[in-house]
Amino acid sequence: MFDAVKVKDQCVEWIRDFFETNGKGCNAVLGISGGKDSSVAAALCVEALGKDRVIGVLMPNGEQADIDSSYMLVNHLGIKHFVVNIHDAVEGVKNAVPFPLSTQSITNLPPRIRMSVVYAVAQSHNGRVVNTCNLSEDWVGYSTRYGDAAGDFSPLSHLTVQEVKAIGRVLGLPEELVEKVPIDGLCGKTDEDNLGFTYAELDKYIRTGKIENQEHKALIDRKHEMNKFKLELMPSFEPKV
């Protein structure tokens, strides 16, 4: 049985220990999407460090239909925030490249530009960047390498979607943010539409090894194997002397 209160307290203490060792007095800086992951990560950092040491970065790509959720979070937590519209940067890169970008390149470009912005804010405000990926997404590679998968510390990467939601409720976050349906921000599809299975199904499989739909099991297993490299250190050559 998952004890959300106990794990929340452990995570808060872990964040404090990280900053004590890796950035005493530094700020936690993170991108704010208004979804459960950035909401819970931000709230954990506020409890660990105080709201004056947490900085949110809102990064719409042109018009963002759900940006009100991002404002709801930063206002709820009372944290300092910046708004940086990345549209011109995204279009600038697309126009500067002397060939048509692949669909996958276009998909991953905004997350990578967003991470560049978050690091720019962090380096200008004595910060450490919060990675907001959860275990469920990491398990099947549903993240952008050097985009949302980057960061200096990761409070949620060993927690499934259901567990992150439970911690969000313990932290007193608005239910609208905890239960917000994740959308890819590109074609309007939900994360689960893109993945081909539900997070509830995935989370149960991760924690218990049990899954009823064998087609979904095969799909999850394939994604997990294909994307393991995203979670590993970059291979490096060592000469033999």
* Per-residue model confidence as pLDDT tens digits over 31-75: 999 999 999 999 999 999 999 999 999 999 999 989 999 999 999
The answer to the question of residue 189 being in a domain is no
The answer to the question of residue 202 being in a domain is no
CATH number of the domain enclosing 16: 3.40.50.620
Q: CA 154, CA 152: separation in Å to the nearest integer?
A: 7
Q: pLDDT grade, residue 185 (50/70/90)?
A: low
Please give the pLDDT value at position 213.
Answer: 97
Query: Containing domain of residue 155, as a range?
Result: 4-181
Q: CA 1, CA 240: separation in Å to the nearest integer?
A: 49
Which residue type is seen at 163? E
The answer to the question of residue 111 being in a domain is yes
Please give the pLDDT value at position 140.
Answer: 97
Q: CA 47, CA 25: separation in Å to the nearest integer?
A: 15
The answer to the question of residue 140 being in a domain is yes
Task: Check whether 182 has a pLDDT greater than 80.
Answer: no
Choose among 72, 182, 87: nearest CA to 136: 182
81-90, 170-179, 183-192, 218-227: range with lowest mean pLDDT: 183-192
Q: Which residues pair with 190 in a beta bridge?
A: 183
The answer to the question of residue 159 being in a domain is yes
Average pLDDT over residues 177-183: 86
- State the total domains in the chain: 1
Task: Check whether 219 has a pLDDT greater than 60.
Answer: yes
The answer to the question of residue 27 being in a domain is yes
pLDDT tens profile 73-123? 999 999 999 999 999 999 999 999 999 999 999 999 999 999 999 999 999
Please give the pLDDT value at position 85.
Answer: 98
The answer to the question of residue 222 being in a domain is no
**Within 13 Å and on the Cβ side, how many CA atoms surround 175?**
0
Do 27 and 34 form a contact (C-beta atoms < 8 A)?
no
Q: CA 215, CA 223: separation in Å to the nearest integer?
A: 12
The answer to the question of residue 10 being in a domain is yes
Q: CA 37, CA 109: separation in Å to the nearest integer?
A: 20
Choose among 94, 89, 83, 41: nearest CA to 59: 83
DSSP secondary structure code for residue 186 in this structure: S
Q: pLDDT grade, residue 181 (50/70/90)?
A: confident
Reported pTM: 0.94
DSSP secondary structure code for residue 140 in this structure: T
